[in-house]
Amino acid sequence: MSQTFKIRKGHDIKLVGAAPKSDLGLITASTYAVTPLDFPGITPKLAVKAGTQVKAGDTLFFDKDRPEVKICSPVSGEIAEVKRGAKRKILAVVVLADQETTYADHGPFSFTGATREAAAAHFGATGVGAFITSRPYGVAAGMSEKPRAIFVNGVQSSPLAGDLAHQLEGKEKSIATALKALKLMTEGTVYVSHDSDKAPIEALQSLDATHLSFTGKHPKGLVGTQIAQAAPMNKGEIVWTVNAIDLPTIGAAFESGEYRPEYRVAVAGSRVMNAGYATAVQGVSLTQFLSANVNTENARIIAGDVLTGSKIENDGFLSFGQSQLTAIPEGNTTEFFGWVLPGFGKFSTNRAFWSWLFPNREYDLDTNMHGEERAFVVTGEYEKFIPMDIFPQQLLRSILIGDIEKMEQLGIYEVVPEDFALAEVACTSKLPLQEIVRNGLNDLRKEMI
């Protein structure tokens, strides 16, 4: 029934501390925060100020250039603070939560005879449109865009990723509703991807869409890989992508008109004392949870996975769109002659270290760079981790010299930073590939708009 793609290029980084299916309960806190930094490509304009009373689902800030792109409050309460950084850049909007959450009611969406415009308006009003990422550029989707296709990513293959079936359990109905809503937004195809190395997820299998199956190594779980395999993007096209884990939130907004971004969050990593799944509303303050469940001393807490997640502090908040928390040791120690030693215990994707003898070992990796930054020297390295028909190093070079035309020719429209994450891990020269790609996309977007 569905087409199966085998991903041969890539690497599964095996880390210790995977989350068992134990329940860590609900993460509660008195403060919640949303940061514009989680939304690349948005120029935030505040809709609230300190002291404003908000309900869950009321807009906190929106994109200055596309006002329909709204970021909503996950809970009800009072705006405690707008944190600002240098040049008054907005760092976070902090909400002091009510005991009992009240929801802004946008009304249930009526699917009978529904039009695209109506659905777009509902996506905008309830704030769940922010869960849709638009390619190229990898930014929050504007509702006026006409996507060629929508990809729903049902594969989670990054290191220590949660078990999607477990995370979506019990949310079947809203998943189906979300898909109906998404189908209204495109005249093209809606694709749903599946991991054929894992037990099928009924809630996704039963959806009325074009199904794609992926087997093999990470990055099979990156939607960029899936698009490249199924229907590569061309210049001028727009493709929307949605993570399957966000479907219940979207569905709920269409069923009840309420914004309920509640997730079963996988808590994993070698520094986690109690690994498992916690239930959490987005933006929740993690201070108490981390001190109770994670050994935070000299640890790196990551909202998301180790490849693409963002670093958060011990008193940080659960980032937008993240359903994984990872804690690993910081690697701020030196190592005597580490580069000459045989390296039986060192993680490496190639055989220069003798750890190749143990391909199935799980590693307790830290954040050490294992070397200084260098110029591009080694060739043919990135290609091994990017299963797309592009020349990664040539593309990166064109970005570094700011040659827009060359970037277009070499396929920058097909990639977002996360597609380069594995190559960044493997890079001998320790170059910041994801940052380079992000800058390239930003430059390109500036040029195009």
CB nearer to another protein: give 45 or 370.
Answer: 370
- To the nearest whole angstrom, how small is the minimum distance from the Cβ of residue 275 to another protein? 17
Nearer to another protein, 337 or 360 (CB): 337
Tell me the Ramachandran region of residue 5: left when phi exceeds 0, alpha when psi lies from -120 to 50, beta otherwise.
beta
From the list 293, 337, 5, 45, the residue with the least C-alpha distance to 157 is 5
Closer of 111 and 354 to another protein (Cβ): 354
Stretch 97-156 residues interacting with another protein (CB under 8 A): none
Q: How far is Cα 74 from Cα 57, in angstroms, rounded to an integer? A: 6
Nearest to another protein of 52, 429 (CB atom): 429
**Min separation Cβ 188 and another protein, Å:** 11
> Is residue 366 a contact point for another protein (CB under 8 A)?
yes
Does 302 engage in binding with another protein (CB under 8 A)? yes
**Restricting to residues 163-222, which ones interact with another protein according to CB under 8 A?**
none
Sign of the torsion angle spanned by Cα atoms 78, 33, 80, 82:
negative
Q: In the window 380-409, what residues touch another protein (CB under 8 A)?
A: 380, 383, 389-391, 393-394, 409
Chosen residue from 434, 440, 441, 444 binding another protein by CB under 8 A: 434
Residue type, position 272, single letter: V
The verdict on 358 binding another protein (CB under 8 A) reads no
Q: Side-chain half-sphere of 145: how many Cα atoms within 13 Å?
A: 27
| Interior/surface letters 266-279, b for 16+ CB within 10 angstroms, e for the rest | bbbbbbbeebbbbe
Pick the binder of another protein from 165, 210, 295, 376 (CB under 8 A): 376
Among 346, 403, 404, 445, binds another protein (CB under 8 A): 346
Among 23, 313, 435, 447, binds another protein (CB under 8 A): 435
Q: Does 267 sit near another protein (CB under 8 A)?
A: no
218-247 binders of another protein (CB under 8 A): 232, 234-237
DSSP, residue by residue, 254-289: HHTS----EEEEEEESTTBSS-EEEEEETTBB-HHH
330 binds another protein (CB under 8 A): yes
Please answer whether residues 259 and 446 qualify as being in contact, where contact means their C-beta atoms are separated by less than 8 angstroms.
Answer: no
In the β-sheet with 31-34, what is the strand arrangement from edge to edge?
A: 31-34, 90-97, 77-84, 53-54
14 sits near another protein (criterion: CB under 8 A): no
